[in-house]
Amino acid sequence: MMKTGEIENEFLEFVKTISHYEEAVSLLEWDLRTGAPKKGTEQRAEVLGTLSSEIFNLSVSEQMRSFIDRLSAEEVWNDLSEKAQSTVKECKKTLEKFAKIPPEEYKAFVVLTSQAESAWEEAKETADFQAFQPYLEKIVAYNRKYADWIGYQANRYDALLDDFEPGLTVAKVDRVFNRLKEQLVPLVQEINAASSNPETGFLFHHFPAENQRIFSEKVLQAMQYDFDAGRLDTTVHPFAIGLNVNDVRVTTKYDEKDFRTAVFGTIHEGGHALYEQNVSESFAGTPLATGTSMAVHESQSLFWENFVGRSRYFWESFYPELKAQADGQFDDVSLDDFYRGVNTAGPSLIRIEADELTYSLHIIVRYELEKALINEEIEVADLPEAWNNKMEELLGVRPSHDGEGVLQDVHWAGGMFGYFPSYALGYVYAAQLKEGMAKELPHFDELLAKGQLAPVKDWLTKTIHQHGKSKDPAELMTAAAGETMNPEPLLNYLTDKYRSVYNLQL
Amino acid sequence: MMKTGEIENEFLEFVKTISHYEEAVSLLEWDLRTGAPKKGTEQRAEVLGTLSSEIFNLSVSEQMRSFIDRLSAEEVWNDLSEKAQSTVKECKKTLEKFAKIPPEEYKAFVVLTSQAESAWEEAKETADFQAFQPYLEKIVAYNRKYADWIGYQANRYDALLDDFEPGLTVAKVDRVFNRLKEQLVPLVQEINAASSNPETGFLFHHFPAENQRIFSEKVLQAMQYDFDAGRLDTTVHPFAIGLNVNDVRVTTKYDEKDFRTAVFGTIHEGGHALYEQNVSESFAGTPLATGTSMAVHESQSLFWENFVGRSRYFWESFYPELKAQADGQFDDVSLDDFYRGVNTAGPSLIRIEADELTYSLHIIVRYELEKALINEEIEVADLPEAWNNKMEELLGVRPSHDGEGVLQDVHWAGGMFGYFPSYALGYVYAAQLKEGMAKELPHFDELLAKGQLAPVKDWLTKTIHQHGKSKDPAELMTAAAGETMNPEPLLNYLTDKYRSVYNLQL
């Protein structure tokens, strides 16, 4: 009979093979989004389909099932390392989920979404929703079926939410999002009506892409992003991607008419990358070697983007460097005016360019539409109109075409329904982490003012990064911030900050 | 019972899956050599091992064997399309070869060579052969065993030659290479002793990398390289790689002190890329969708590099453009002096920087060492000394350290023994193709002088490219040049050209 240690090793070898396929898939995707030749896109979609299918097949294989059965037997289980136990749990969860999906449907879906991403890119460019509609209809149909295969208790959309944030339900999201709407919609109106608007004209001067790149790299370095285990490239829709713990890549976009896109975008994606780079190396080659959930992932990117990158203190150290890279556009702009300028807030059309005050409302628009789509309360053909109406209702603005409306995000083309809420929930988490961090780093503001970002990164590595997927969001948040999901810290932060930026009475 | 058409389709679907894995492997390799973060290299080697093993396993699987058996049955075979017949033949050949290799040894070898490439890069940098020696010893040991597994008739090295050029033997190579040595060694000495040496000082001025890139792109475009189905990147050791017919990538290296590296390197790799881009699209997803052999591949790159790129006529159209990109270094250099300057020849140490006259001698050095290594006449530890001696014997120069000697090429680190001869044989083929082309394009020189390279590319597509691997080298060469391998056209060309460049009596 095999010893426990031997079965454990064999199992971990098998799991590592799956991680190898995942690395290949990640690279194929990274490449597709950072410069793969356009004529090769069609075959590339099939390659992604083949490799993703293989991951699927390995994850639900008889071999996997047999490993899980043997390792779960009580006398074996207790002798397993903690890492092996967490890995078995994770594999079991995936197997049970995947086993409910017909393999042919899964492969067709992977091919479909890869083609849909190219179709979306063109449709967005030409603001032609109808060109994208047939793809999106198939994607929505798949997601509805998917929810039914997986199963749910209260709401069909729960099945999709759980994929990105384990245990999340419509009931929980509704509670948090209603609280955000209740306080943010009037706050946005209040800000919008304020008489003391920050100066913003100086933001839109020509800032050469190459200099933006230099500044972006300096900030990433200060954040402790390891360039020997990553790289920075350009893309249309920025993202960060972990191929393995030692290869985590950031992408960004240089808008020469608005440096904020690259600067805050890079800090944001850098926050994601730090999470993936600092997962404990002992988890390499297992499904634990990644972030625990999308919302916790987003808490990292938004923490860096907003609580660091949009803080006045951060710019005390980085403003001189930004000035040095710019073509004179900040010469007559005081630090204070700069700070207020980059924190200008108000209703806008594009999520990824939204300020931190209105950002959650953009997410709530998408959440409410997804929920309605999956529950068949609306159809894909109704989306453009429904989108525009929601934007008007929550933000008071209406897109003039679908390129700046319903077509703006890649997520649906990528097949991801249930993902968007993570963005706002991550923001909620980030504010809670800020309060948790303040207890151990009371001089947080001073550190930022000196450009010393290492202690901030170290605290996040200690509380969040290193654990990878070995702890769930609730465990991590309770240990780091003393409680699970709570929107009040975020609401307090936003109310205080924006009344101050807009010189309103506190 | 299944109809022939149905089995054929099922077989081609199966074969397509293999091509998907191959695309992933090609991308993983391309990425590793164009900027993958160095800390991720170790895991990347394992990923390559896993995917290459999967290709290996599929190629020798029971499923493959059963397809080949069913399709080879006489009543089925005659109903197959020509494409399916060629694919079955190719798959059968691969299966019979792979089936002789122990799978575990194969996987270990893939991992080894991937790690060896990183080790080689460092060893070359520091000219430290001993750091690389343990890797190379394992690689040579594998290649010796490999030759024994595969089998051979006259010489153990024949088994390796056949991998790169089907049917090639030591006997054939010796005959061609001895003829080359016989005529080239004295010709090089004659040139070396010539009194009328071309001016070369103007070659080594500072030429900004970005401008070299612009020029390189223009030349590639003129060559009809399709940038919508490819891209140009930088690397340490330039290469071209086909991911699929619609995604064929070129890499180059910009030496700001010597523009020739990038210019001739890009034309060379562009020649390889044209071959891969112009294989008939009907072969996509089969093993026929690539070059038929390494020597024929090299005939394409060397045709472009030497018969086009180093021709006086080519520079009649491209010299003004080169001048426009340069920082004034050619302002006082006549076209004639430029032509003679870039065609300066003479003994040198580095193969990839060698002129076309001495290039074959660099190859013969490697061929003779490989042959001796595989036949256990020398050992890896003897290599640096043996290398230096051969260089002295054939070229009259001796490296001062191993970085410019035995460590200069990546091939051995990549596990490739038997590959080098293709370079010189490709050159032999290229000269034969030039003679064949002259019959159909008598105004070849004029076309070059006008910068009209499309007819040249079209002739190569018609005679070589489009057929992919569906015809063997002998078939292609006979149809295009009227005979199989013959060194005389190359010897005539080199003798005429270099006596003219060096103003020697003809």
According to DSSP, the β-strands at B232-234 and B247-252 are parallel
pLDDT of amino acid A195: 86
Residues of B at the A interface, defined by Cβ within 8 angstroms: 16-17, 20-21, 23-24, 27-28, 31, 35-40, 42-44, 46-47, 49-51, 54, 226-231, 243-244, 246-247, 249, 284-285
Consult the annotation and say whether B440 binds a ligand: no
Contact (Cβ atoms closer than 8 angstroms) between residue B277 and residue B290: no
Q: With an 8 Å Cβ cutoff, are B43 and A226 in contact?
A: no
Stretches in chain B below the pLDDT threshold 50? none
Question: Which residue among A20, A43, A247 sits closest to B46, beta carbon to beta carbon?
Answer: A20
For the four alpha carbons of A476, A482, A485 and A487, in that order, the dihedral sign comes to negative
Q: pLDDT tens across A229-242, in order?
A: 999 999 988 999 99
Residues A409-465 pLDDT 10s: 999 999 999 999 999 999 999 999 999 999 999 999 999 999 999 999 999 999 999
Q: How confident is the model at residue A1 (pLDDT cuts 50, 70, 90)?
A: low
Q: What's the average model confidence in pLDDT over A357-361?
A: 96
Residue pair A349/A404 in contact by the 8 Å Cβ criterion? yes
Instruction: Return the percentage of chain A with pLDDT > 90, whole number.
Output: 93
Mutate: best of A12, A21, A23, partner B, most B CBs <10 A: A23
Question: Contact A246/B37, CB-based, under 8 Å?
Answer: yes
Q: Quick check: A506 pLDDT over 70?
A: no
Q: Which residue of B has its CA nearest to A45?
A: B20
pLDDT of residue B111: 87
Q: What is the mean pLDDT of residues A455-484?
A: 97
**What pLDDT, on a 0 to 100 scale, did the predictor assign at position A142?**
98
Smallest CA–CA separation between B313 and chain A, in Å? 32
Mean model confidence pLDDT for chain A: 96
Q: Which amino acid is at B286?
A: T
Distance CA A345, CA A351 (A): 13
* Residue type present at position A194: A
Residue in this structure with the two tokens 């979306």, named with its chain if needed: A120
* DSSP string across A366-431: HHHHHHHHHTTSS-GGGHHHHHHHHHHHHHS---SSGGGTTTS-STTTTT--S-THHHHHHHHHHH
Cβ neighbours of residue B74 closer than 8 Å, sequence gap 6 or more: none
Q: Measure Cα distances from A219 to A223, B353, B376 in Å.
A: 6, 40, 56
Are the C-beta atoms of B355 and B343 separated by less than 8 Å?
Answer: yes
Q: Best mutation site among A16, A19, A20 for testing chain B: the one with the most B CBs within 10 Å?
A: A20
- What is residue A420's predicted lDDT score, i.e. its pLDDT? 97
Name the active-site residue from A29, A269, A356, A435. Answer: A269
Q: Where would I find the H helices in A464-503? A: 473-481, 488-501
Q: Is there a contact between B248 and B229 (Cβ–Cβ < 8 Å)?
A: yes
Q: Which helix (H) or strand (E) holds A232?
A: strand A232-234
